[in-house]
Chains A and B, each alone.
Chain A
Amino acid sequence: MKYAYYPGCSLHSTGSEFDLSLRSVSPLLGVELEEVDDWICCGSTSAHAVSELLALALPVANLCLVEAMEMGEVVVPCASCFRRMKAGHHESATRPEMREKINRVVDRPYQGTVKVCHPLEVFADEAMLAEIAVLATEDLSRLEVVCYYGCLLTRPPKVMQFDRYEYPMSMDAVLRAAGIRTLDWDFKTMCCGAAFTLTETDIVYKLCADLLDEAQAVGANAIAVACPMCHANLDTRQPEIEERLKKSYQLPVFYFTQLMGLAMGIPATELGIGRHLVEPGSLIGGQPKQPASAPAPAPA
Chain B
Amino acid sequence: MTQAATAETITPTSGFAYSILGESGVDVNLCYQCGKCAAGCPVAYAMDYPPAQLIHAARLGLDELVLGSRTIWLCAACETCTTRCPQDVDIAKVMDAAKILAVDRGINPAVGEVRSFHKAALASIRRFGRMWEAGMVLSLKLRTGNYFKDMELGSRMLRKGKLKLLPTFAGSRRARRIFSRVKKVEREADRPE
Contacts and interface: CB of A to CB of B under 8 A. Distances in A.
Contact of B77 (A48, A199, A207, A236): A48
Contact of B129 (A40, A50, A195, A206): A40
Contact of B79 (A47, A106, A152): A152
B110 interface: no
Interface in A191-241: 191, 193-196, 198-203, 206-207, 236, 240
Most chain A beta carbons < 10 A, residue from B99, B122, B170: B122
A41 B118 contact: no
A196 to B, nearest CB: 6
A46 interface: yes
Contact of A46 (B113, B117, B168): B117
A39 B78 contact: no
B98 to A, nearest CB: 10
Interface in A52-93: 52-54, 57-58, 61
A51 interface: yes
Nearest to B90: A156
B5 interface: no
Contact of A151 (B78, B116, B149): B78
A191 B79 CA distance: 9
Interface in B65-88: 74, 76-80, 82-83
Given A104-B181, A190-B42, A198-B150, A156 B79 contact: yes
Contacts, number: 178
B21 interface: no
A194 B92 CA distance: 15
Interface string B96-122: 100110010000000101101110011
Given A57-B182, A105-B185, A38 B171 contact: yes
A277 B158 CA distance: 11
Interface of B is mostly: helix
B174 A203 contact: no
Contacts of A194: 76-78
Contacts of A274: 160
B64 interface: no
A12 B164 contact: yes
A165 B185 contact: no
Contact of B133 (A13, A39, A47, A106): A13
B145 interface: no
Interface size range on B against A: 35 or more
Contact of B131 (A41, A48, A50, A202): A41
A40 B167 CA distance: 13
A14 interface: yes
B125 interface: yes
B43 A203 contact: yes
Interface in B115-143: 116-118, 121-122, 125, 129-134, 137, 140
Most chain A beta carbons < 10 A, residue from B45, B83, B131, B174: B131
B160 A299 contact: yes
A50 B130 contact: no
Nearest to B129: A40
Given A195-B117, A200-B111, A48 B96 contact: yes
Given A51-B186, A298-B156, A191 B80 contact: yes
Most chain B beta carbons < 10 A, residue from A52, A190, A194: A52
A41 B76 contact: no
B178 interface: yes
Contacts of B32: none
Contacts of B147: none
Most chain A beta carbons < 10 A, residue from B129, B137, B144, B172: B129
Contact of A38 (B161, B174, B178): B174
Nearest to B180: A105
A105 B181 contact: yes
B34 interface: no
Given A38-B170, A276-B160, 4 more contacts: A9-B133, A155-B78, A191-B80, A236-B156
28 contacts: A9-B131, A38-B129, A39-B170, A40-B129, A40-B172, A40-B175, A41-B125, A44-B131, A47-B125, A49-B100, A50-B122, A57-B181, A61-B178, A101-B185, A104-B185, A151-B80, A156-B83, A189-B80, A191-B78, A195-B117, A195-B121, A196-B114, A200-B46, A201-B149, A202-B46, A203-B46, A206-B45, A236-B157
4 cross-chain pairs, A with B, having the tightest CB-CB distances, nearest first: A191-B78, A9-B131, A151-B78, A40-B171
